[in-house]
């Protein structure tokens, strides 16, 4: 616990370890597929943090902000975008889906997870 933290981090349990490993696996897969696709790494870096703009919805209220954050940070939508894009030959859609998946995987790998409705600092991993 640091001087800035008021809540101790929970110890690393098996489920927590699996959640971090799962995020790292998704991040790695997205990076490999992105590289194999020959897409621009500058575009990747430019767009990587775009999903975090969902936090702007906290300006309206925490419940709306957390709901939008959770919707943007679920694997469902980028996976659907990737599948539809791959099947239709939409390279831009596939590129964006891989960046989106990499972002979510990166977040999960470091411990950021789904937010509870009225608690911005509490996630399915623990307290941030």
Q: How far apart are CA 11 and CA 37, in angstroms?
A: 38
Q: Which residues, 6+ apart, have CB-to-CB distance to 12 below 8 Å?
A: none
**What phi and psi values does residue 33 have, to the nearest 5 degrees?**
-65, -35
pTM to 2 decimal places? 0.84
pLDDT digits (tens, 9 = 90+) for 49-100: 999 999 899 888 888 888 898 999 999 999 999 999 999 999 999 999 999 9
Nearest to 26 by CA among 76, 90, 69, 70: 76
Say if residues 49 and 103 touch (Cβ distance below 8 Å): yes
pLDDT digits (tens, 9 = 90+) for 17-45: 888 899 999 999 999 999 999 999 999 99
**Angle CA 92–93–99, to nearest 5:** 90
Assign 103 a pLDDT band (cuts: 50, 70, 90): very high
Tokens, residue 6: 């008021």
């Amino acid at each position: 616990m640091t001087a800035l933290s008021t809540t101790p981090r929970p110890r690393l349990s098996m489920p927590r370890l699996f959640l971090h490993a799962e995020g790292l696996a998704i991040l790695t897969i997205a990076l490999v597929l992105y590289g194999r696709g020959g897409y621009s790494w500058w575009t990747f870096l430019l767009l990587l943090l775009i999903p975090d703009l969902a936090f702007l919805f906290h300006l309206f209220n925490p419940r709306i902000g957390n709901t939008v954050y959770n919707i943007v940070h679920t694997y469902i939508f980028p996976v659907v975008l990737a599948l539809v894009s791959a099947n239709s030959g939409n390279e831009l859609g596939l590129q964006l889906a891989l960046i989106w998946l990499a972002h979510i995987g990166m977040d999960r790998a470091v411990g950021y997870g789904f937010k509870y409705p009225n608690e911005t600092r509490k996630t399915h991993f623990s307290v941030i």
